[in-house]
Structure 1
Amino acid sequence: MAARARASTVSYLQARRSGGSTAMSAAEAEGTPLFDLQQIDSLLGAIYEGPTESPPWQSAMQLLRTQLRAAHVTLMLRPPSQDSAGVMINTGPVTAQGVESYETHFFSLDPFVRLPEGEVVTAEELIGRQWLQSAVYQEYLKPLDIRHLLGADIYTRDGIECRLRVTRSHNAGPFSDEDKALCRFLLPHLKRSIQLHARLDFLECERSLFAGTVNRMLLGMLSFAQDGSLIETNQEARRILAEKDGIWLTGSTLCVDSSQESRELQRMIRSALADSGALPAEEGTDNEGAGVVEAMSITRPSGRAKLGVLVRAVPMGQWSESRQRPAVVVFLRDPESNAAQPSQELVRRLFGLTRMEAQLALLLAEGFTLDEAAEKMNVRRNTARTHLRSIFCKTGVTRQTMLVRLLLNSVLTLG
């Protein structure tokens, strides 16, 4: 890919030297680049910053549109298909109706697709003069005042297929060799950026999945950077801290009612920061290989059960350079939180229970006795006992406590 990028750069320079003015200046003859290095730098910077934008590459596409004096520049991250409308980043004057008509109909008639890897071509170069008689041009592009169409497709080993399309109106001139050389030069950079975006998207999906799991387990979580500043809190942590019942947050500092408990919590956080590599170890301590994980309880003035607190260091990776990464994570657990109960359907399908058996199993897992569960189900105690024996048979347990443990340790808590 690096060789191809160098070749595209040479082609671009050659095109710049031969495709502009008919008369070459002395500087041009000596090989001085004709293009504006600052503009190229801006384009490349926008391409590599594209994965962090929303929508991605909007700035890069707009810069490319200006550079090419184009009516539109469109990046199809996911081309439309029979199963999906696709995902397109458009720059230039577009209407929702125009986008929808392509996504739902004209994409299937478009012959300007599946272009050779790394090639930048016009529609007429690929298809010939019959392009102007095609349904896509006559019924879709021409009414939108689009006459010239330039394109390139990107394919990756992971199965990604993206399309870059550039247009000009009927009043504008056709795309030059210089225009195509610029796109060819940018293409490998755009491909790398798209691959980075795919990787970041995967990591974000993974992060969201794990964050959702932590929330469903009613585990509060706060992450702190190496300088002690707060990075993120999850929903359960915000709920616990908002109650200000024994512990609350002021800026990036966790405050605790009890002075003794407050000193202990701050000591644990400092120790974890030192273990993560963020702070030097305190004199007289040896944190090497400690992998700090400490826990304590926080007294609540309301008289409710104490909150559980666990502090864990997040050591720096071998190649970590950012100081705004999690260095310490603080977990909070409220023993009196009421987790959302899994549906009876989940319990029924997981253990092969009937509807009544699933209802009874969930009530027992909530802490009700068999008599209390029978009353809630509006059935006799003997009927509940019959259901319980059937549950034991299907789940392979022999005692009610074993059944509750089985339910609480199953995947139901993730549902």
Structure 2
Amino acid sequence: MREYLISAPMNELLLALSRGPLADPPWQAFLRLLGEALDADYVTLILRAPREGDSGLVINSVVLSPDAVNAYNESYFALDPFVNLPPGEVFTVDAFMPPGEYYQSAYFRQYVEPTGIRHIMGADLGDELGNTARLRFARVAGRTNFAAPERELARCLLPHIQQTIRLHARIARVESERTLFAAAVDRMALGAFILDRRARIRHSNSAGERLLAEGRWLTQHEGQLRLVHRSDQQAFRECLDDVMQAHLRGEPGLVKALRLDSGSSPGPGLLMRPLPLVAAPDGSRNPSVAVFVSDPEYQREAPVDVLMTLFGLTRAEATLSLLLAGGATLDEACVRLHISRNTGKSHLSAIFSKTGVTRQTRLVQLILSSVAPMGD
């Protein structure tokens, strides 16, 4: 049977790599260990190359000086000739380009040489998804250049580094999308809660936090989402049990809706749906149920500038439209805007003409169903 042995230093290096993107500070512990493995004085990971107007994302194992880092990120990156290496291969400067050309370049003489660095080895990474990175290793003057053993070790580590960058980029994209969609739900004045199998709150958006803070309809007890009124809580638990069972059966299509009792006026509406099953060691803590809460008393808003762009309104017309969409009558809106009713009617006529609607109720529907609230 073949033996798979990993030395203690290599084990430490690979563990640091797996923790690299989420470490504090990110990547630096791994880069320091990588520098020790390759006997490099400095290691640099460039996750986003600098360009005009963008200093990029450059991480150094050791910071020579803030001035040196800023100088490269702001100007010298444009002079660097040791770029665009064939992906997945490891080169020293001497093997990549004529040594005389490099050591006589303005980049080396004005930027590299004053730092005391003499020898540089590098590799570029890239995959079909567009995840790219650059690794650069440096030794100071007076030391020998990087040799075949260092180049081979670096080459063997490249696929592991590429995969870690790829996974982290995927996580970052998912998180970015989640943040964007969560913000969109907030703009719609929807409270959103993610509950586990014990009805404990695992996540809530800002609109949900506002509803909890108000305490009129929702509260939490020992981390569990509760409804304030007993009759609402009983109906909520019955619906929640049905949705939870659908989650356990792997039926994410089930939806349960509930209107809260608020007496004469319409109360908030709740919608519950199961989340897909997720494999994890502790299934009880898995996200299980999504709960959305819509409060009819909460006014959605949209920025004036977005309404002006969407419908060609003047600022005065857009401001009036927002007040009407928020539930104000024309007379109430005129008072708040300190304009006469005749001026308000003139604005409203112009709004109707520009939006193509003829009734105030239709105007409110048009604004609230447009993308305008998403721009708040």
- Which range moves more in the overlay, 370-379 or 303-312? 303-312
Q: CA deviation at 1:75?
A: 0.6
Would you say 1:396 and 2:328 are equivalent positions?
Answer: no
Structure-2 change in CA distance of 1:193 and 1:185 (3 Å): same
One-letter code of the match for 1:294? K
The 8 Å contact of residues 47 and 193 in structure 1, kept in 2 or not, is answered as yes
Cross-structure match for 2:325: 365
> Does residue 108 of structure 1 match 2:78?
yes
Distance in 2 (CA, whole Å) between partners of 1:89 and 1:338 is 45
Q: 1:216 to 1:290 in 2, by over 3 A?
A: closer
1:296 touches 1:310 (CA, 8 Å); kept in 2?
A: yes
d(CA) in 2 for partners of 1:288, 1:236: 28
The question of whether the paired residues in 2 share the 8 Å contact of 1:73 and 1:164 is answered with yes
Specify the alignment match of 2:254 in structure 1.
Answer: 292
CA distance in 1, matches of 2:274, 2:212: 21
Contact 1:71 1:93 in 2 (8 A): no
Partner of 2:62 in structure 1?
A: 92
- Name the Cα RMSD after superposition: 2.8
CA–CA distance in structure 1, aligned partners of residues 152 and 75 of structure 2: 32
Which residue number corresponds to residue 73 of structure 1?
A: 43
Please report how far the alpha carbon of residue 74 of structure 1 lies from its aligned counterpart in structure 2 after TM superposition.
0.8
1:46 aligns with 2:16: yes
What is the deviation of 1:198?
2.5
Q: TM-score, normalised by structure 2?
A: 0.88
Deviation at 1:36, TM superposition (A): 4.9
Aligned to 2:238: 267
Shift of 1:100: 0.2
Alignment of 1:250-399 (within 5 A): 250-277=221-248, 289=251, 291-298=253-260, 306-316=267-277, 320-321=279-280, 323=283, 324-339=285-300, 341-399=301-359
Percent of counterpart pairs with the same letter?
37
Q: 1:274 to 1:412 in 2, by over 3 A?
A: same
Paired with 2:80 and 2:234, the residues of 1 have a C-alpha distance of: 69
TM-score (norm 1): 0.80
SS of the residue corresponding to residue 88 of structure 1 reads strand
Q: CA deviation at 1:151?
A: 0.6
Post-superposition shift, 1:181?
A: 0.6
Residue matched to 1:245: 216
1:65 counterpart letter in structure 2: G
CA offset at residue 299 of structure 1? 5.2
After superposition, what is the alpha-carbon deviation per residue over 1:318-351, rounded to whole angstroms, capped at 9, x for unaligned? Answer: xx45645421112223322244x32322222211
Structure 1 residues 146 and 304: alpha-carbon distance in aligned structure 2, compared to 1, 3 A threshold: farther
1:395 maps to a residue whose letter is: T
Larger Rg: 1
AA paired with 1:87?
A: L
- Count of residue correspondences: 371
Does the aligned pair in 2 maintain the 1:153–1:163 contact within 8 Å? yes
Shift of 1:294: 1.9
Residue deviations 1:16-53, cap 9 Å, x none? xxxxxxxxxxxxxxx999x9534334333433443444
Q: Could you list the runs of 5+ residues in structure 1 that have no partner in the other structure?
A: 1-30, 278-286
CA 1:108 to 1:307, structure 2 compared with 1: closer, same or farther past 3 Å? same
Q: 1:147 aligns to what SS in structure 2?
A: strand
Q: State the match for 1:6 in structure 2.
A: none
> Contact conserved, 1:346 with 1:412, CA < 8 A, in 2?
yes
CA-CA distance at 1:239 after TM superposition: 1.7
Q: 1:152 to 1:268 in 2, by over 3 A?
A: same
